[in-house]
Amino acid sequence: MAEETPTTNANLICGGVITLAIYIPALAIGASSLSNTCSAGATIELPIWLTVAGAVNLSIYFLNLCLFNIVTGGGSDDEDKQSNWRTISRPFSGMVGLFNLTWFILGAMSYWGGSANACYGLSLGQMTLALLILTIIGLSLVCCACICLIVAGGAAAAG
């Protein structure tokens, strides 16, 4: 079995950059557009979809950060505390991932099913291009976070 590296505040902060970069704009755009709803057959209206995704994920991130600091005593390097944190966070992370997958599928079905064109004048090609751009941005953020973790791990090992 591969040895796990200890979770540190730097890991949560690097992962948090991705969370904040995606969900603060989602929450802001969704909340500012709540009065401009269009329910032309949509299961979930776009502003509500964005607002819920942003609010839930930001709340979960800050709760996760608080729990990490409580369980590990502020990110201490004690391996027992790190192990306790991993035991607590894994099922929690799985539930968050399941919510995000379900919420994404509901939104995609709602808007790619035809209502986005009726409400917002977007074609399937435009929506596909927007999703492709968001995917590239998301993957770039993940790569940046991985590089940040590698650099932080190398700096910790060196000194």
pLDDT in tens, 2-27: 444 545 556 666 677 777 888 888 88
Q: What is this structure's pTM?
A: 0.64
- CA separation for the pair 45, 97 (Å, rounded): 22
The rounded Cα 115 to chain-centroid distance in angstroms is 25
**Residue bearing the bigger pLDDT, 80 or 4:** 80
pLDDT in tens, 28-44: 888 887 877 666 656 67
State the amino acid at position 113 in one-letter form: G
Backbone angles phi, psi at 29, to 5 degrees: -65, -45
- What sign results for the dihedral spanned by CA atoms 127, 20, 6, 88? negative
